[in-house]
Structure formats: structure tokens, C-alpha cells
Amino acid sequence: MGKELFEKYGIRQLGYSVESIEETAQLYHDLFGAGPFIDMGVNAPESCKIRGVEQPVRMRTAIGYLGDMEIELIEDKSDCPSPYSEAGRYGGHRRICRRRHRGRHGHGLGFWDARCLC
């Protein structure tokens, strides 16, 4: 069923863990024409466990579009382990990223008819 949904609807959202929202938003605009990006501010989930330990995670996010594709930029504001600081911890892009581990954080599949999931 997952393959059929993916082939029919595709990926509608990409999330990236970045060092700087401003620099990345400008780069995406210059390279691909994406944006404008809307800064959603700093927020924190009610609960976030990293390897079983509760952490006070804080992140800043911005949302923009490239055509129909939503691009989410996530800037880690935590002074603790978080899903964003550890993005790519075990991935291949670790070798090419400076400082903290940065890279693709997630993606979202879009669908227009919830009945297709039943």
C-alpha cells in the first residue's frame, strides 16, 4: 500500500536541519527560486526523548515552497542532544558537513483523499 500511495501522491514536504535559516533560505532562493520563507520562530515540543532521555529541545523553523513542494528549514537552538543536532549522525553526509551534523531531517507524503488510506 505504501508504494501505491508514494507513486500516486509523491513527496510533498522536505525538512532540513540547517546551521542558519537566513543563509539556507537565501541559497535555496538563489539556486532554485524557492521561497519566500516564513520564519515560524523558536518553539519547543512538550516532550522529546533522545535515546530514552528527556531533553529540553528548542528549534527555530521556517517554511517556504518550491513549486508545490514545502521546504522546512530547522535551526537547532538546543544546548542538548536533539533530533536536529543528530541529523545524519549515522548517515553518509556526516563527512561533508561542518561542525554539528546537518542534513535532510525528514519528508512528508501528501495525499488529497484520506479515504485512500483506509
Contacts for 79 with CB less than 8 Å, ≥ 6 apart? none
Give 10 or 94, the one with higher predicted confidence.
Answer: 10
d(CA 9, CA 111): 6
The per-residue pLDDT for range 73-110, each reduced to its tens digit, is 989 999 888 887 776 554 433 333 344 434 444 444 45
The pLDDT score that the predictor gives to residue 92 is 35
The pLDDT score that the predictor gives to residue 88 is 55
In the predicted model, what is the mean pLDDT of residues 21-49? 93
In the predicted model, what is the mean pLDDT of residues 14-38? 92
pTM over 0.75: no
d(CA 46, CA 55): 10
The pLDDT score that the predictor gives to residue 89 is 55
